[in-house]
Amino acid sequence: MGVTFALFTVIGLGVFVIIPAAIFYSLEDWTYGEALYCCFITILTIGYADFVPGKFICRILRMQVVYVVELY
């Protein structure tokens, strides 16, 4: 059970935090740390609104990440 949990955790972290953060980093004028923070806060549905994607494609990506996390 421990190996399975660790595998799902690593895959989830990569798919839902690291990859979207890299996309936000490349499209928005954010540092990679700010992009990671935005993804983390979005996934936890805290939503401080201190980092909000400004470009339309990034807003769509953000909604899709939240939707997929709910299904995961």
pLDDT per residue as tens digits for the range 18-65: 888 898 898 888 899 998 898 888 888 777 777 778 888 778 877 777
Is 90 exceeded by the pLDDT of residue 6?
no
Provide the domain limits for residue 47.
2-71
Confidence of residue 72 (pLDDT cuts 50, 70, 90): low
d(CA 5, CA 55): 35
Report the residue count for the chain: 72
What pLDDT shows up at residue 14?
81
Please give the residue that has the higher pLDDT: either 43 or 68: 43
Is 80 exceeded by the pLDDT of residue 66?
no
Number of domains composing the chain: 1
CATH number at residue 43: 1.10.287.70
Token readout for 2 is: 């421990």
